Amino acid sequence: MEFAVVTLLPEMFTALTDFGITGRAFKEGIATLNLVNPRDFSVDRHGTVDDKPYGGGPGMLLKVEPVLKAVDVAKQQCQSPAKVIYFSAQGRRLVQTDVNSLAAEPAVIFIAGRYEGLDQRLIDLVVDEEYSIGDYVLSGGEIPAMAAMDAIVRLLPGVLGDAESAEEESFTDGLLEYPQYTRPESVSGRRVPEVLLSGDHAKIKNWRRQQSLGRTFLRRPDLLDKRGLSTDEKKLLEEFLQDLSLD
C-alpha cells in the first residue's frame, strides 16, 4: 500500500518507518511512504508557509499554495489514485471500521496540519475525509497520521504473523479484548483464572468471549449499543454480571 504525508516535519516519521512491526512492513516494501514538505513549494526565499487569518484572531494558518502544490506532487508520486485525508480536531472520530476501509485503499495521502490548521477552501478543494483522533487539541497532524498508518499497516497482508494476528483484538468484532495473563501463575497473591490453565480449548474460548462481552459492557457500553447481542451472547453477559455481583 502506498502512503504519502504532506508535512512540515518529515523527520518525525522515522518513529514509524524505523521501529517495530511498522518498521518491518516498510523495510519489506509491504507499505511505502513518501514525505512531501510544503516548505519546498514556498515562493519566497524565507520558505514562508504560514500567514495571518483574515478577520484577525490568534495564530497563523498554513498558506494555500504550498500545501496545494505538495498534495499535487504527492498524488503524482502515487502509482494508484489516492484518497486524501486531513487530520483535524474537527473531523469525525477515526474508528476501527474507518481503518479497515482505509486499509483496502491502494493509496492514501495524509495532510498533517500545523499552526491553526488549513484554509477552509483548501479542505473543500482537495480533502476526501476529515478525521480526528480524539477530543483534544494536538500541535500538529503528524502524530494522528502516524497513529492511523500504524493501525492500517498492521492489517495489511503479510504484516502480522499468525502469532500476532489482529483477528482477536479489541474492536475487530465490535468488542474489547478479554483480559490476558502470562507467567508466573501467581503475582502478589493474584492467580491466573483456573480456566486458562485447564487446557480445555472450548472452555477457554467461551470464557474469553464472556470476558470480552462483560468488559465491553462495563467499559464501553456504547459499543454494545451499536453492535447488538445474539441470544447466546446475552446469556453469557447475564452470567458474567451475576458472577460479578456474587464477587
Contacts to ligand SAM by CB under 6 A:
87-90, 112-114, 116-117, 132-134, 136-141, 144
Give yes or no for a contact between 115 and 52, defined as CB atoms under 8 angstroms apart: no
To ligand SAM, the closest distance from the beta carbon of 56 in angstroms equals 14
Q: How far, in whole angstroms, is CA 210 from its chain's centroid?
A: 26
To ligand SAM, the closest distance from the beta carbon of 123 in angstroms equals 10
Terminal-residue alpha carbon distance, the chain: 49
| Cβ-based nearer residue to ligand SAM, 9 or 195 | 9
| Cβ-based nearer residue to ligand SAM, 78 or 89 | 89
| Cβ-based nearer residue to ligand SAM, 129 or 169 | 129
- Count of Cβ atoms closer than 10 Å to residue 110 Cβ: 25
**Exposed/middle/buried for 12, CB within 10 Å: 0-12, 13-18, 19+?**
middle
Q: 171 to each of 7, 54, 70, 97, 165, how far by Cα in Å?
A: 30, 42, 34, 9, 13
To ligand SAM, the closest distance from the beta carbon of 58 in angstroms equals 9
To ligand SAM, the closest distance from the beta carbon of 87 in angstroms equals 4
- 115 φ/ψ angles, rounded to the nearest 5 degrees: 55, -135
| Cβ-based nearer residue to ligand SAM, 61 or 82 | 61
**CA–CA dist 128, 122 (Å, integer):** 11
- Count of Cβ atoms closer than 10 Å to residue 163 Cβ: 5
Q: Which of 108, 109, 110, 116 is nearest to 140 (CA)?
A: 116
Closest residue to ligand SAM using C-beta atoms: 113
- 164 φ/ψ angles, rounded to the nearest 5 degrees: -110, 15
| Cβ-based nearer residue to ligand SAM, 114 or 209 | 114
Can you give the length of the chain in residues? 247
The amino acid occupying position 117 is: G
To ligand SAM, the closest distance from the beta carbon of 116 in angstroms equals 4
To ligand SAM, the closest distance from the beta carbon of 136 in angstroms equals 6
| Cβ-based nearer residue to ligand SAM, 138 or 195 | 138
